[in-house]
Structures are given as structure tokens and as C-alpha cells.
Amino acid sequence: MNARDLAAFCIDALEKCTLGVFNVTAPDGMFTIGDVVKESIAAANAPMEARTQLLTTMPGISDVLARTIVAEIGLDMSRFPTSAHLVSWAGLCPHSDESAGKRRSTRIRKGDPWLKTALVSPAWGATRKKESYPQSQYLRIKTRRGAKKAIIAVAASMLTAVHLSRGRTGVRKR
């Protein structure tokens, strides 16, 4: 394949990729654009594979959600000295508004909207696993503060566990 054929193939492939067609075969039949895209995605995801495998061992966290968490937080956790910093950055901690001994607002903080949404959804699933810590925490807080505040607390606990697992390579099975 000469340079002109390769250029024509690339232009044709880019036009088809914008239309959603990824199985465009090269003129010499050596590769398809779909293979190239899959290889580049696999190469980009290689550093976070171990981290996502560790996160999927938590109840309620799927492979897609683990990738979302790692994509939002990043692999370098050194910018969060404690788990409280990470929870605050994500916006899962309560807003503190107190004056003259009266608490006025208990809304959660503004934070990373993608991570917050991504953690609240599996928190609901984690609370349905029988005899688990998320379920007992949810039921304990729900009686005092309500279901929505309890689920935010469970999501914050899940994020704390993510921060605590930053240096581990595996999870101990009980």
C-alpha cells in the first residue's frame, strides 16, 4: 500500500467512523479500524486494570462503575491526604451551616457531579445485600435521618473504602 492509498483509506475510515461504522477493512486486508480502536482503548486502560479489579470486589460496584470511579478520581491518590478530603471533593459530605447554636442547612456540598451520581446508584444496590455493612449502616441512619441522607452516607462510606484501598493489591476474603 503506497502513501496515497493509505491517505485515501484513512479519510474514508474517518468519515465512516463519524457515522458509527468501525469495521472498515484496509485495502490490503491487514487490519480494520475497529481493531485499531480496540487496541488503543486497551492500551489506555492498562494502568487502571488492577485498580478496577480491586474495586469490583466491593458490593454494588460493577466493572463499568469501577472504571468510572478511577476515571473521575485518577490513579494518583496523593492529592487526597485523607479519605475525608476525597469525600469532601466528591461532594458527599454534609454542608455545615450553623449560627447561634442552630443548624440551618444539611444539604450536601457541591462536588463532582459524575462521581456523586455514580456512587449513589450502587449504594442503593449495596444496601440490599443481606447482612452487610452498607445495609446495617443504611438501616441505622434511615431511622433517624431519612432514606436519602442514609444513602448519601453509604455512598460516602464506599468512597472512603476506595481511598483506603489505594495501596492494596488484593482483598482478603472472609
Specify the pLDDT at position 140.
92
Task: Give the chain's count of helices (H) and strands (E).
Answer: 8, 2
E-strand ranges in the chain read 97-99, 102-105
Specify the pLDDT at position 30.
58
Which DSSP category does 104 fall into?
Answer: E
Q: What is the pLDDT along the chain (174 residues), one digit of tens a residue?
A: 565 666 666 666 666 655 555 555 555 555 566 666 667 767 777 777 878 888 888 878 888 888 888 888 887 788 888 888 888 888 888 777 778 878 776 777 777 778 888 888 888 888 888 888 888 899 999 998 888 889 989 998 888 888 877 766 555 554
* 19's grid cell: 457515522
Specify the pLDDT at position 22.
53
Specify the pLDDT at position 54.
85
Q: How far is CA 16 from CA 30, 32, 54, 145, in A?
A: 18, 12, 37, 53
